[in-house]
Chain A
Amino acid sequence: MSTVMKIENLEAKIGDKKILKGLNLELEAGKVHAIMGPNGAGKSTLSKTIVGHYDVEVLGGDITYKGKSIVDMDAEERALEGIFLSFQHPVEIPGVNNAYFLRTALNAKRKYEGKEELNAAEFLRLMKNHLEMLGMKSDMISRSLNEGFSGGEKKRNEILQMLILEPEVIILDEIDSGLDIDALRAVSEGINKMKDGKRTFLVITHYSRILDYIEPDYIHVLKDGKVIKTAGPELVAQLEEHGYDAIEEE
């Protein structure tokens, strides 16, 4: 197996509260990893720590991505290196055109990779194709970033960004929250399209519903700031039946 990301003994706090308490996790390249756990277990903190969120202070341990430690890297550099977070609550940015934003992001990445930047026409073609696939209206091109978007539109827009930016490690933080069944289907379709055996997914979820749509390869149970169990997808049924309390630390 080839490991794309390795988290070792990670300790981190938000404010004065220590949340991650010696977390270990290995992400196998090309696989779908689901992180499940009760409220307050540290699921969102884990995703924030990986992407370098300003709220989080790392106290100990390390995160290596493709063999390099990333804990001291700027957030934008981690993004350019291929780590993408689909936000649980995407923030609204008034007046910033969605297409303009996304083209800027894509061209920043292309430049970083030494590729030619896309001009406006080339980019629009690319964006339109993806919009159709996600069942999104073409006014997504001209609307302001997340401004006045419904919950479903926001999540679809996250997936749209993922499709266009083509990251290598994709963290989906509660991607199914607030989605109706149609939106959930469209979002899952977008995600499954990205499953090509090379990209790695970290699906952070409270409920198992999303896992009916995106089949996980591994389930990691997170409790009190640590991964207490790792197993195959069969664990989902067990969790549904007995809850998190029945899981014993391995």
Chain B
Amino acid sequence: MANEGLDKAVSGEYALGFEIDIETETVPPGLDESTIAFISKKKEEPEWMLELRLKALKKWETMTEPHWAKLDYTPINYQSISYFAAPKEQIDSLDEVDPKILEAYEKLGISLEEQKQLAGVKVAVDAVVDSVSVKTTYSEELEKHGVIFCSISDAIREHPELVKKYMFSVVPMADNYFAALNSAVFTDGTFVYIPKGVRCPMELSTYFRINALNTGQFERTLIIADEGSHVSYNEGCSAPTRGEHQLHAAVVELIILKDAEIKYSTIQNWYPGDENGKGGIYNFVTKRAICEGDNSKVSWTQVETGSAITWKYPSCILKGDNSVGEFYSVAVTTLAQQADTGTKMIHIGKNTRSTIISKGISAMKGQNTYRGLVKINASAVGARNYSECDSLLIGSNCGAHTFPYLESKDTQGQVEHEATTSKISDEQLFYLRQRGITEEDAVSMIVHGFCKQVFSQLPMEYAVEAKALLELTLEGSVG
């Protein structure tokens, strides 16, 4: 009896499934050298970038799609995807964003007009629609502090020295199948450089929107925190409700120099598909940070509620002595969603520390896998790791799986791992209902309690958004 309301309570509506009604320029489906040349030309790239892309394509063509993850999906036909789609630019208004796009972003809760931002909470936004960045706000104000915040396409043209030095330095071109594909075809994404000693004066963010039909999104993000600097960066995303699967294969590279810190937060809300697994985004993402300098710190916080398939392991290479890596994750799979996600903590420097807090929530037919590696090299004397992986099951048709891997060459290293799997117990639900709380509110209360450790890591505005999103994902009646 206690379970009968549950499915109803967890089959949340996808609220952002609208389509922006704009004219789109799309390259025909297919991938070969001419596609790459087209993309590179569209972006007015220098010759060296085109060469790197072609090199990546060659490598990708020799590789095979990996299938070690606990994911079951129909094969992807890479030749049936269009690799470039962009809103058509309006004549005479190169700087102006199509009002329909502005309106769509308003609808997503993001203002692209600086003067419209609330006083006190300035958030700079890079808005990416399909393959292009349509607007980057506050770039000029940030420039006064020496902060570079622009699209990766602009960075390739305007800051080639930084791009040449750092792109592919954390995620090598042929690191894995999806990273190689991205290296060949990547379109837009965000570039950030925080100079020495600068604390970025505002939150930076990118909002990715897939809009066009039959296209993939392949963004690339590169963030460099120079010595003693600090930045908090947030990304969000969404896509229209469509019956076909769409591929999203991104690469994110973070470089953190001595005494610097990057706090990277993601609220992933790609269209999840329906309860029979029809439609939804295939999300294959490579995210990696290197703590290059001593005392540097990186923190990944992710709230994953969307996508039909998620394959994503934000990782930290802790190279500098005393460097710190953190991974806080909430992954929700409901409907027919599947997620195989986790992290890698590679300890190289002395006294490096890492923390992993992973919370998986599965409902309906959702399958949630945590896969994590903690590797402590012989050089990492005094390294410490703490891992906690908790799974929460709602109902009895979903699944949770945990695959923690540990490789330790330092016999003095301290590694602690805790894992729990719990079902929202009938006893917990009943307790709350006996106090007059409805079953739906009771489920939401228990789930929020479960995620608290992770949500508390998000910047405040985003924590509010994450809570609301979770509510929407797990509760049919809200919104």
CA–CA, A95 and B427, complex, Å: 16
Give B274-286 as 1s and 0s: 1 = Cβ < 8 Å from A's Cβ atoms: 0000000000000
Which B residues are in CB contact (< 8 Å) with A53? Answer: 430
CA–CA, A148 and B153, complex, Å: 53
CA–CA, A76 and B441, complex, Å: 11
Interface residue B426 (Cβ < 8 Å from any Cβ of A): yes
Contact B449 A144 (CB under 8 A): yes
Residue in B430, B432, B435 whose CB lies within 8 Å of A165: B435
Q: A101-133: which residues lie under 8 A (CB-CB) from chain B?
A: 101-102, 104-105, 108-109, 112
Q: A47-67: which residues lie under 8 A (CB-CB) from chain B?
A: 51, 53-54
CA–CA, A144 and B445, complex, Å: 12
What residue in chain B is nearest A108 (Cβ atoms)? B436
Which B residues are in CB contact (< 8 Å) with A91? Answer: 425, 427-428, 431
Contact B430 A105 (CB under 8 A): no
Which B residues are in CB contact (< 8 Å) with A90? Answer: 431
Which B residues are in CB contact (< 8 Å) with A178? Answer: none
Residue in A74, A95, A161 whose CB lies within 8 Å of B435: A161
Known: A54-B426, A93-B428, A104-B441. Contact between A79 and B448, CB under 8 A?
A: no
Contact A112 B449 (CB under 8 A): no
Could you tell me the dominant secondary structure of chain B's interface residues?
A: helix
Contact A112 B436 (CB under 8 A): yes
Contact A85 B434 (CB under 8 A): yes
Which A residues are in CB contact (< 8 Å) with B45? Answer: none
Q: B321-348: which residues lie under 8 A (CB-CB) from chain A?
A: none
Interface residue B1 (Cβ < 8 Å from any Cβ of A): yes
Known: A54-B1, A91-B427. Contact between A76 and B448, CB under 8 A?
A: no
Contact A74 B433 (CB under 8 A): yes
Known: A54-B430, A112-B436, A165-B436. Contact between A104 and B445, CB under 8 A?
A: yes
Interface residue A94 (Cβ < 8 Å from any Cβ of B): yes
Interface residue B38 (Cβ < 8 Å from any Cβ of A): no
Contact A76 B449 (CB under 8 A): no
Interface residue B69 (Cβ < 8 Å from any Cβ of A): no
What residue in chain A is nearest B435 (Cβ atoms)? A105
CA–CA, A144 and B438, complex, Å: 20
Contact B432 A101 (CB under 8 A): yes
Which B residues are in CB contact (< 8 Å) with A140? Answer: none
What residue in chain A is nearest B455 (Cβ atoms)? A95
Contact B453 A75 (CB under 8 A): no
Known: A54-B2, A93-B428. Contact between A75 and B434, CB under 8 A?
A: yes
Which B residues are in CB contact (< 8 Å) with A79? Answer: 433-436
Known: A54-B430, A75-B430, A104-B445. Contact between A94 and B450, CB under 8 A?
A: yes
Known: A93-B446, A95-B448, A96-B448. Contact between A76 and B431, CB under 8 A?
A: no
B157 to chain A, nearest CB (A): 48
Interface residue A207 (Cβ < 8 Å from any Cβ of B): no
What residue in chain B is nearest A146 (Cβ atoms)? B431
Interface residue A80 (Cβ < 8 Å from any Cβ of B): yes
Residue in B1, B431, B437, B452 whose CB lies within 8 Å of A87: B431
Interface residue B451 (Cβ < 8 Å from any Cβ of A): yes
Between-chain CB contacts (< 8 Å), 10 pairs: A53-B430, A76-B433, A91-B428, A91-B431, A93-B445, A96-B446, A104-B441, A108-B441, A109-B436, A161-B435
Query: When A and B form their complex, which 8 residue pairs have the shortest distance between CB atoms, in order from nearest?
Result: A95-B449, A96-B449, A105-B435, A79-B436, A95-B452, A75-B433, A54-B2, A108-B436
